[in-house]
Each structure stands twice: as C-alpha cells, then as structure tokens.
Structure 1
Amino acid sequence: MALRSATFSVDRGEFVSIVGPSGSGKSTLFYLLGGLTQATSGRVVIDGVDFASLGDTDRTRMRKSKIGFIFQRFNLLPTLSARANIAIAHEISGSSEPLDQKYLTHLTDLLGISGRLDHRPSELSGGEQQRVAIARALITRPAIVLADEPTGNLDTENSDIVLEMLRRSNKEFRQTVLMITHNPEAASVGDRIIHMRDGHITGIEAGKGAVETHQW
C-alpha cells in the first residue's frame, strides 16, 4: 500500500504506536522510516537529516548508528547462540568500542533471558526468542527503535512481557520507539497512537503512556 500525505513528527524519547488493518500502509511506513526502502517523494527527516535523500551507503550507515529493528519473525540466526545473536548486532554496527558486557548483562537481566544466552533459537520458546531479538535491537543503544508487530506471534503472557520491556527501554534508556501493530490493545501502551487506513493517517490520539502535560 502506497502512503499518501502521511505527515507527522515524533519527539525524541517518545513512544508512538502506529495502528491499522492489513493493507493500511503500516509496513510501507516501517520500511521508509527504517531506510529499508527509498521514498519516491516526500521526506523522512531524522535529527535534521533527510533519510529519503541519502544514497544506499549513507542510509546503511545511518541505520547502523541510529536505528534498532525488532521484527515479528525474530530473524535470529539458527546456528548461533542467543548471546552470539545479540553480539552480532554490535559487530555489524561498525563500532570501534568492544561490546559492553556490563550493559549486555543488565539488558538480558531486564528481559529475563540471562540464563538462556548459551542456547540456540531452536531451544528457546517464542517469547524468549522475541526477547533475544529485543536485546539485539537495543545492544547498540540506538536512538530509535522500530518494532514491526513485535507481539504478532506471541501469546498474551509473552506479549505483555514484550510490551512492558519496550515501554521500560523507552523510559530507562530514553530511546524513541515506533511500534507498528494491528492490535489496538498493544498500541495503547504508547504515548500516542497514530491510526492509518488506505495509506492515510486518519487520526491521532493519546495512549496510556501519555502524560497530561505532553504536547503534540
């Protein structure tokens, strides 16, 4: 679904849910925001830089340095342990600094997977795999976390854990979170909820995470 005049802004440190039925344009928006596809028109501005105007090399560099991705299908490498799946994101980022083991321990403790790091994905439950995927997205301390249907393959209990962790990382690590979902209940954890249909933004409302003084 093509986007049509989908204009909005997101504050640093805000948690925004983007909700809509299948075919509403959510996935297209996700790929544009993450620089995974190039817009045919319009702008995607991050920290004053028009992402949409960059070439492939510069978009890739910006993705590595600023954005963490969480996908519905986890996308873990089956031959690697959970620890290695998390660490590979740091390696790919091109950082000259070694992996911060103290931060890795803190992150995996928060996610409740510190005792599962030596297991491969096939030895983990769906909820544990998604929490590994979240740790992988957060290990580079990205300014922006893009989550595409992060609870789509999970039961209610694990969905609640994942949403709580996204909310917690948003607050504790001051990361901007944009979550794509078709589930209104999951969307409600955000500060704002952006509704989409047929490629258009049809409405914006406050979510449970909003505070009364928050302006938008």
Structure 2
Amino acid sequence: MNDLVSNTDEGIKIMESRFKRKKVLILLDDVDLNDQLKALVGKHDWFEMGSRIIITTRIRSVLDEAGVKCKYELKEIAEDKSLILFSRHAFMRDSPPCEFESLSHAVVSTTGGLPLALEVIGSFLCGRNPAFWQDALMKLKEVPHTKVQEKLRISYDALNYEEKQIFLDIACFFIGYISDSVSSMWDACCHAPNSNKRAIIPLWS
C-alpha cells in the first residue's frame, strides 16, 4: 500500500476498504497504545473469518483493552536451547567446539535466556580467541553489552516515574526475590505495583 494519507481518519478508511471481506494475516510489532490497534486493524468485522492478527507488546493492558483472547507471555529460553542459539552466532554451528565449551556455558549463563543478548554477544565473540572471551566474560558479569543495553533501555524509558522506581528497586536489591514478599513495601509507598500491568521486571540479572 503506497497511499499517502493526511490524517488518521483517512488512513482508517483506506485500511477498512482494502481489508473488507478479505482473509488476512497481520503482524503488529511493539504496540504501545490501544489507539494504534484501532487505527491499524479497526473492528473485527473488517476481516473475513479465519483471519489472524498477531500483536507483540511490552504492555499487557494494550491486549486487555483490545479484547485479545489468546495471549502468550514470552519466557526466557532454556539453557540447552540458549546454547544452540548462542553457538549459531558465535561458531556458525549448533554447539561450541571443545576448547570453547566451558566458556560458552559461562557466557550463556550470564544472559538469563534473553535471545537478544545471546545473538548480540555470540556475534561479538565470533572469531575471537579464548583470551578475548575471558576478558569479555568478566565485563559481561558486570554490565550487559552496549547493544543489549540500548534495546533494553527502550522498555525502561516507556515506564512512568513510579514504575521506574520499582524497576530500580528490583534491579538493585531484589533480584531473585518472590514478588509477593516485597510488593507490600511499594504498597506502603503508594506505588501500587499490582495496579499496572506493564512488565517492570529487569530482563538482565
């Protein structure tokens, strides 16, 4: 679709006319506002039966407001699958060579099963010698790779002030704690952590 539109209402009319009575597959990535969904996919009766709309978002309330019935929360990758993904980027194969096996396991354990980190760090270490890996591993235990930080920063910047305070509390003091055991502290500070459904748990621990 190459049409240029001057405003949202005009764009909605064009989208509706193009999709009406058609079976479609639509992927909407990184949606932050329910208004974005209304503008892009409108009402369910725009589409033919059997159509599929896939939405990715960091904010659960977007899906709730849109009436999405089937939801899936992305979990961290299991260690064995993490090693495969990492190895494909670091060695262009599904497993590390013998001389890099222990180093690879150590690097993978620092990522917490985060696919982005596995891909970025694997590519960064590709073709490097074991001494370079050792130095990189020491740094990764202290702070994530720069490119990973940039991506994670997007989620942090999307939080409001109170959510950022909760995020920083968790990152600095409560990694590994059960959420129920510390949520009373935020309740006492009137932060009400359970009232907002944004994901505020640090992704790197």
Tell me which interval the TM-score lies in, with the shorter structure as reference length.
under 0.3
Return the structure number with greater helix share.
2
Asked which structure has the greater RCO (Cα within 8 Å, sep 6+), the reply is: 1
Please give the TM-score of this superposition, normalised by the length of structure 2.
0.28
Q: Which has the larger radius of gyration?
A: 2
Q: TM-score of the superposition, structure 1-length normalised?
A: 0.27
